[in-house]
């Protein structure tokens, strides 16, 4: 990755922040996008102080023009684009029957359309460099999770989009990777939307007992290097993939019971 130009969305915290340090640590020039300008500036300056190269732009990926400007920033600053990592995303925690439809729309705008907008704007440059486009998905993009209808829907949509993109580009040299982390210690659960669209504010999980964002970033880095098409992390995630193929009804029961045990679960 030395000298490669890597764009990362959702780069102000969690997996995105860890990806910024992971790729910069291997000599990549990173361009960071997120809504939190203060955090982006701090991360970018820290990477520079460590001898790396970084740029940033305040970006709301649900805004097509913001995505365009992020891509142009990378091109103007470093002259090319080699990797785009679509990581920005938000989650939810509410029963569909209780959720305001604006919550579902917000998740689709950020998670799905953010991926589509950034990929569309970056594609000409990625085709030129025979580079990589990555989508950071979730086990929720493999198995629908109760209480996360909008989140799972957005991740399933990304899966279909990326798979189609990969097949379209079999002869162009474009590398397309779907990354499926399991539950990861990050800010996404704290900022998850509840039924009325407000933020949950507190994670229902014991963050210290799940995979770190740094571990996820290291796995994604290796998958980009090896130009893998898919990457499923954690034993729980791999088991979910297996069971979803052969034991669907049993998996439904397991998932329901597991999610119902969360503190403050919206269903029992």
Catalytic residue ranges: 151
The contacts of residue 203 (CB under 8 Å, 6+ apart) are 189, 190
Do 161 and 147 contact (CB within 8 A), yes or no?
no
Helix (H, G, I), strand (E, B) or coil at 195: coil
Distance set, CA 206 to CA 185, 186, 209, 258 (Å): 9, 11, 6, 14
SS3 assignment for 54-77? EEEEECCCCCHHHHHHHHHHHHHH
**What region does 26 belong to: left with phi over 0, alpha with psi -120 to 50, or beta?**
alpha
Sign of CA dihedral 78, 28, 90, 246: positive
Beta strands 184-185; 211-212: pairing state? parallel
| Nearby residues of 162 by Cβ (< 8 Å), 6 or more positions away | 115, 133, 135, 176, 178
- Cα angle 97, 252, 267; round to 5: 35
Q: Is residue 228 within a helix (H) or strand (E), and if so which, with residue range?
A: none
Residue 76 makes CB contacts below 8 A (sequence gap 6+) with none
């Amino acid at each position: 990755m030395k000298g490669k130009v890597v764009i990362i969305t959702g780069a102000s915290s969690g997996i995105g922040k860890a990806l910024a340090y992971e790729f910069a640590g291997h000599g990549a020039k990173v361009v960071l996008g997120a809504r939190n300008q203060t955090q982006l500036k701090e991360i970018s300056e820290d990477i520079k102080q460590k001898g790396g190269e970084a740029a940033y732009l305040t970006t709301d990926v649900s805004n097509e023009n913001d995505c365009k400007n992020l891509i142009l920033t990378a091109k103007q600053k470093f002259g090319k684009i080699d990797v785009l990592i679509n990581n920005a995303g938000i989650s939810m925690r509410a029963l569909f029957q209780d959720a305001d439809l604006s919550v579902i729309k917000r998740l689709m705008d950020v998670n799905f359309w953010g991926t589509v907008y950034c990929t569309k704007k970056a594609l000409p440059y990625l085709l030129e460099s025979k580079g990589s486009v990555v989508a950071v998905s979730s086990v929720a993009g493999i198995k629908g999770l109760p209480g996360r209808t909008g989140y799972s829907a957005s991740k399933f949509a990304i899966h279909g989009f990326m798979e189609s993109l990969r097949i379209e580009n079999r002869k162009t040299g474009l590398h397309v990777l779907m990354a499926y982390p399991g539950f990861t210690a990050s800010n996404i659960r704290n900022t998850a939307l509840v039924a009325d669209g407000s933020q949950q504010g507190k994670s229902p999980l014991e963050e210290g007992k799940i995979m770190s964002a740094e571990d996820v970033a290291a796995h994604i880095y290796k998958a980009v290097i090896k130009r893998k098409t898919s990457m499923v992390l954690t034993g729980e995630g791999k088991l979910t993939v297996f069971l979803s193929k052969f034991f669907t009804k049993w998996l439904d029961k397991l998932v329901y019971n597991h999610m119902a045990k969360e503190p403050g679960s919206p269903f029992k």
